[in-house]
Amino acid sequence: MNHTLSVFVEDKPGVLARVSSLLARRGFNIHSLAVGPSHEDGMSKMTIVVEAPELEQVKKQLHKLVNVVKITELEPDQSIEREVMLVRVSAASGRRSDVLEIASIFKAVAVDVGHNSICFQVAGEPAKINDFLELVRPYGVIDLVKSGRVALARDTKGKQPRLRAVN
Amino acid sequence: MTTMTGAQALIKALEHEGVDIAFGVPGGAILPAYDPILDSSIRHVLARHEQGAGHMAEGYAWATGKVGVCIATSGPGATNLVTPLADALMDSVPIVAITGQVPTGAVGNDAFQEAYTTGITMPATKHNYFVTDPDEIPQLVHEAFHIASTGRPGPVLLDLPKDILNATTTWHTPVDLSLPGYRPTVDGHPLRVREAVEMIAAAERPVLYVGGGIIKANGAGELRRFAELTNVPVTTTLMGRGAFPDAHPLAMGMPGMHGTYTAITAIQKSDLLISIGVRFDDRVTGNPSTFAPHAKVIHVDVDPAEIGKVRVPEVPIVGDARAVLAQLIEAWGERPTPERTAWRETVRGWQRDHPLRYQQSPDGPLKPQYVVEELHRITGGDAIVVAGVGQHQMWASQFWQFNHPRRWINSGGLGTMGFAVPAAIGAKAGMPDELVYAIDGDGCFQMTSQELITAATDGIPVKVAIMNNGVHGMVTQWQRLFYNNRFSASQLGNMVDYVKLAEAMGCVGLRADSPDEVAPTIEKSLSINDRPVVVEFVVDPEEMVFPMVPAGGSNDDVILGPTERVITAASDLP
Ligand SMILES: Cc1ncc(C[n+]2csc(CCOP(=O)(O)OP(=O)(O)O)c2C)c(N)n1
Ligand SMILES: [Mg+2]
């Protein structure tokens, strides 16, 4: 089962290596890991999607790292999850319009257009990105890269659950 | 402000932390740090191998409760430290390791004697530092000592490039620590503590299962008070020997693979396991799904990750063992001490029917258990005992009576052969007025015996009993039991003249190979205090350690001796 963890860490050299090596050593599978600066100086935020039957152990072990300050588990319905994908789709002149049509539905942006291929940038919910990918796959995916998931908790104070569903 | 080098700041910072002794081996990258040691109050002990230096720091820490310090150069010096670091991490031993590194500009270029020390030691330390600014040295040293010695103790490493050691700096007195991600919990949650007390009062067959956490927290006094107050029998793990006096009527000895029948069975029959400073190690639990099947569990540990890792407790209490025991005593309050007549009588029955045993015939081969018992008798038990890893370690733990904490030192979690000699040296260096007696195996001894040269040179008169059975005894035991007596690569042979070897290293060498020689030889060893003494006991190579719960087996299924197998029946219940 995949879990999304938001891990607030001190921005110290080696902190990424510490986190990833700890997860590997304890036998937890990293599905994706994204890291960058946070709202606080000297602190970074990692979004880790981890596959682990025992999430408590993952959290407790991560907490043992001196540079890890806070760990929050993000429930899918109470958080915003986003990913960016760059995907190069084979698009010979005859099939170009079909591909572009799918792209426009998904608000995928053509960021590089070549003679036989188009590279799209798609951003959004991981599920949406996967849907797009499945739809263009039959045309031939030549190359692909994903950013890894980033996520933040929603501001749920005083809101009804259904209002929160608005993106 | 007076200027100094980074190296001088480092040594001053160590003095500032109260370091009186360091164990190490110099080399190119760390040389700048060695020069100011000459002008410092720190005694440096020149080990013969960095692994030895690391285990010495561990032995020092085990015996004194203070942080042990070891120093090594870059590359091979640092990689030689990996074993003691991993050992200290497993056994929660507070040590600080200082390593030299190639100059900052050369890092990453495969420079001479470069190794990625912080990377290699990341999973073998509680925390480590790559130092990039000489001004930060005192603060980082301060942090390192704090992290090593607080919470669940462990090893911390500081890697210092040579140019940082040579750089000019000034002294920056360490300021208050700012470690937002490191705040160990000391006191247990009061609600949980009350819950625990209620359960203990209501339990019919409670067992205190305690380990190294009690010793690390200096909580032996509180443990004893609490055990007496609640009248609960106590089992002390290999790491916790001495946390509770073996001579006490409530003591049941060690649990686990080579534990006493009583401790193993009491846990299996228990309805409440009060676990303090233990981690449900597989050498204790065997197959965890059959471990203490009737028991509710209270688990006290300073490391939250240990709670629920193997067994989910009914009452989890994160906190320092001593602090939580004090809370438990307080919460127990004026309640009367329960009689627990039936349970105590059942336990006594097991003790009576299944004591630890062995047979020493007057003219037969010398039994290692007899040597341990004689050592205990003649010294009055007044010694720090340091063991290697193997059968001799189990016999030492089983047949020595430990009545005080910090008088038993061994490699529990990692099981590091070669631990005993250097750890004994570290212990003796830290506690020079105590008798320090290592009980080592011949295989272990051959891994690190050269450190006796260190002991002889530096005037650290340890004593080492070698249980010479000519084999990797623990390996042959498994080969006897599980590999059809096929002794692959476990025969050490009898090439070594240990008396001569000892003498060649500046020690006194003695030998005993029959039961009647044991006592006089031990007496002789105790009369020599100006040099290290090595005593070779030529012991029976066929002797096996019992009781035994085979690895991964159920604790209900204890092998009591070479020809017996006892399956404890549920009808044993009181
Ligand atoms: C460094 C290391 N290598 C290998 C082992 C595996 N091992 C465990 S006990 C043992 C035999 C120990 O022999 P010895 O020191 O003679 O002790 P004995 O069991 O004979 O008392 C071995 C090889 C180990 N624990 N540590
Ligand atoms: Mg042996």
**B471-486 residue pLDDT tens:** 999 999 999 999 999 9
Looking at the predicted structure, is the pLDDT value of residue B333 above 80? yes
Domain coverage including residue B132: 3-170
**Interface membership of A26 toward B (CB under 8 Å):** no
**Residue B469 CA to ligand 2 centre (angstroms):** 5
Encode pLDDT of B496-518 as tens digits.
999 999 999 999 999 999 999 99
Please report whether residue B309 resides in a domain: yes
For A32, phi then psi, to 5°, come to: -155, 155
Residue in this structure with the two tokens 């191998």, named with its chain if needed: B49
Ligand 1 atom with minimal separation from the B442 CA: 16
pLDDT of B568 reads 53
In a 3-state reduction of DSSP, which class is residue B501?
Answer: helix
Tell which of B306, B327, B353 closes a domain: B353
Looking at chain A, which residue has its C-alpha nearest residue B144? A66
Same domain, B156 and B203: no
Rounded mean pLDDT, B359-379 = 96
Angle subtended at Cα B323 by Cα B320 and Cα B329, rounded to the nearest 5 degrees: 135
Which among B122, B130, B147 has CB closest to A21? B122
Residue having the nearest C-alpha atom to atom 2 of ligand 1: B417
Q: Which two tokens stand for residue B402?
A: 């430990």
CB contact under 8 A, A17 and B309: no
Which among B123, B127, B180 has CB closest to A21? B123
- Could you count the other beta carbons within 10 Å of the beta carbon of residue B52? 34
Confidence of residue B569 (pLDDT cuts 50, 70, 90): very low
Q: Under a CB-based contact definition with an 8 Å cutoff, are residues A46 and A74 in contact? A: no
**Interface membership of A116 toward B (CB under 8 Å):** no
CB contact under 8 A, A57 and B305: yes
Confidence of residue B1 (pLDDT cuts 50, 70, 90): confident
Please report whether residue B346 resides in a domain: yes
Q: Which two tokens stand for residue B364?
A: 């037969």
Q: Under a CB-based contact definition with an 8 Å cutoff, are residues B11 and B42 in contact? A: yes
Please report whether residue B148 resides in a domain: yes
Q: In chain A, where does the domain assigned CATH 3.30.70.260 lie?
A: 2-74
CATH number at residue B320: 3.40.50.1220
Tell which of B142, B170, B198 closes a domain: B170
Instruction: Provide, as residue numbers in chain B, all residues whose Cβ is less than 8 Å from the Cβ of A25.
Output: 123
In chain B, % of residues over pLDDT 70? 98
Same domain, B14 and B144: yes
Same domain, B255 and B155: no
Number of domains in chain B: 3
Q: Which two tokens stand for residue B220?
A: 């032996």
Average pLDDT, chain B: 96
Same domain, B400 and B507: yes
- Cα B91 to Cα B2, B211, B400, B412, B448: the distances in Å are 41, 11, 21, 6, 20
Give residues (CB < 6 A) around ligand 1: B 388-392, 415-417, 441-444, 467, 469, 471-475
What whole-number distance in Å separates Cα of residue B424 and Cα of residue B299? 32
CB contact under 8 A, A10 and B181: yes
B110: alpha, beta or left? (left if phi > 0; alpha if psi -120 to 50): left
Same domain, B130 and B10: yes
Q: Whose CA is closest to B506, among B446, B448, B461?
A: B461
What whole-number distance in Å separates Cα of residue A74 and Cα of residue A117? 37
- Please enumerate in sequence order all residues whose Cβ is within 8 A of that of B499, keeping only pairs 6 or more positions apart, or say none: B509, B510, B511, B534, B536
The amino acid sitting at A12 is K
Beta pairing, strands A68-74 & A79-90: unpaired
Looking at the predicted structure, is the pLDDT value of residue A60 above 60? yes
Same domain, B428 and B518: yes
Beta pairing, strands B557-561 & B564-567: antiparallel
Rounded mean pLDDT, A68-77 = 94
Encode pLDDT of B44-92 as tens digits.
999 999 999 999 999 999 999 999 999 999 999 999 999 999 999 999 9
In a 3-state reduction of DSSP, which class is residue B136?
Answer: helix
Q: Whose CA is closest to B318, among B179, B184, B181?
A: B184
DSSP-derived secondary structure letter, B101 = E
Same domain, B442 and B349: no
Confidence of residue B567 (pLDDT cuts 50, 70, 90): low
Whole-prediction pTM: 0.96
Same domain, B316 and B408: no
Rounded mean pLDDT, B96-118 = 97
Please report whether residue B240 resides in a domain: yes
Please report whether residue B421 resides in a domain: yes
Confidence of residue A156 (pLDDT cuts 50, 70, 90): confident
Count of alpha carbons within 13 angstroms of residue B13, beta-carbon side: 33
pLDDT of B570 reads 42
Instruction: Provide, as residue numbers in chain A, all residues whose Cβ is less than 8 Å from the Cβ of B308.
Output: 56-57
Which among A14, A61, A65 has CB closest to B118? A14
Rounded mean pLDDT, B200-212 = 98
Same domain, B329 and B465: no
Encode pLDDT of B222-272 as tens digits.
999 999 999 999 999 999 999 999 999 999 999 999 999 999 999 999 999
Residue having the nearest C-alpha atom to atom 16 of ligand 1: B443
Q: In chain A, where does the domain assigned CATH 3.30.70.1150 lie?
A: 80-150
Encode pLDDT of B114-132 as tens digits.
999 999 999 999 999 999 9
Tell which of B353, B381, B408 closes a domain: B353
Q: State the fold for domain A2-74.
A: Alpha-Beta Plaits (3.30.70)
Q: Whose CA is closest to B30, among B11, B17, B14, B16?
A: B11
Confidence of residue A165 (pLDDT cuts 50, 70, 90): very low
Residue having the nearest C-alpha atom to atom 8 of ligand 1: B390
Encode pLDDT of B435-478 as tens digits.
999 999 999 999 999 999 999 999 999 999 999 999 999 999 99
CB contact under 8 A, B122 and A56: no
Looking at the predicted structure, is the pLDDT value of residue B327 above 50? yes
What whole-number distance in Å separates Cα of residue A153 and Cα of residue A163? 15
The amino acid sitting at B288 is P
Can you say how many angstroms the Cα of residue A56 is from the centroid of all Cα atoms in its chain? 22
pLDDT of B572 reads 46
Same domain, B156 and B283: no
Please report whether residue B195 resides in a domain: yes
**Residue B471 CA to ligand 2 centre (angstroms):** 4
Q: Which ligand is nearest to the CA of B473?
A: 1
Please report whether residue B324 resides in a domain: yes
B327: alpha, beta or left? (left if phi > 0; alpha if psi -120 to 50): alpha
Confidence of residue A93 (pLDDT cuts 50, 70, 90): confident
Encode pLDDT of B400-429 as tens digits.
999 999 999 999 999 999 999 999 999 999
Looking at chain A, which residue has its C-alpha nearest residue B308? A57
Please report whether residue B567 resides in a domain: no
Q: Tell me: domain A80-150, CATH 3.30.310.50, correct? A: no
Same domain, B294 and B270: yes
pLDDT of B566 reads 58
Same domain, B332 and B220: yes
